[in-house]
Amino acid sequence: MKITALGTGDVVGTPKIGCDCPICCEAKAAGKQRLRTSLLIEHKGFHLLIDTGPDMRAQLLAAGSPRIDAVIWTHGHYDHFMGFGDFYRVQREPISVYGAPEVLAYCGGIFSFIPHEEHPVTPFEPTEICGMEVTLFPVVHDTPTYGLRITADGKTFVYSCDTRAELSAESLEQMKGADLLLLDGIFPPGVNITKHMNIEDAERLAGDLAPKEFWCVHMSHKIPWDYEHAARDMQTWAL
């Protein structure tokens, strides 16, 4: 598997519109940014998107305009699926979209005008997608939301975006033993909100899960660019 973080930002991205904080000023001066979080996974010639955020057009252009074979939607928040319309015209056939039934019902209903094939996935039941074994597990957000365990060629990638750290024992079990772990880490230590982890929460959870490699995504403009576990847009990992 080759995994690319097409974006690593939160719902508003970095720099934040109208913000003059040091991190946003640094971003504007250096011409860098955090687009909304989404992932591209390449495996044996297939291209799988994890979420289709509103920066999808720019992200796919930066990735070389790959043909997308399948999409997984983790949940029905704007910054995780509203870019689905950015690339469907270049596809030669309807796109296969996977997700938990309630996520597909909501997101698919909004994009009913786009030809696509919906494939409901039952949480905790492994499903083959693009030649990889994919297992969805529920996480704790303010709408039905799911993390992913993806295994291929003896390597395991675990992703959980938009969640609190208080997860069920069943979900935590799915998150163990990862070669690569990406977690939601929206704010610096000491800043807490009800539906996300801050960086410190994510680091503590990663310590319990003991992956071989760990990075944070879904970061706000409050996270410094040089933070130890801050992933970067277009950062890649080969597993």
Question: How confident is the prediction along the chain (239 residues), in pLDDT tens digits per residue?
Answer: 999 999 999 999 999 999 999 999 999 999 999 999 999 999 999 999 999 999 999 999 999 999 999 999 999 999 999 999 998 777 778 899 999 999 999 999 999 999 999 999 999 999 999 999 999 999 999 999 999 999 999 999 999 989 999 999 999 999 999 999 999 999 999 888 889 999 999 999 999 999 999 999 999 999 999 999 999 999 999 99
Residue 76 in tokens:
């029905």
User: CA-to-CA distance for 195 and 210, rounded, in angstroms?
Assistant: 23
Torsion angle of alpha carbons 97, 88, 75, 132, nearest 10°? 40
User: CA-to-CA distance for 125 and 202, rounded, in angstroms?
Assistant: 25
The whole-model pTM stands at 0.96
Tell me what pLDDT residue 161 has.
87
Tell me what pLDDT residue 192 has.
85
Q: Within its chain, how far is the Cα of 39 from the centroid?
A: 5
Residue pair 160/183 in contact (Cβ under 8 Å)? The answer is yes
Token pair 């799915």 is found at: 174
One-letter amino acid for residue 46 of the chain: F
Nearest in space to 131 (alpha carbons), one of 41, 3, 43: 43
DSSP 48: E
Residue pair 27/14 in contact (Cβ under 8 Å)? The answer is yes
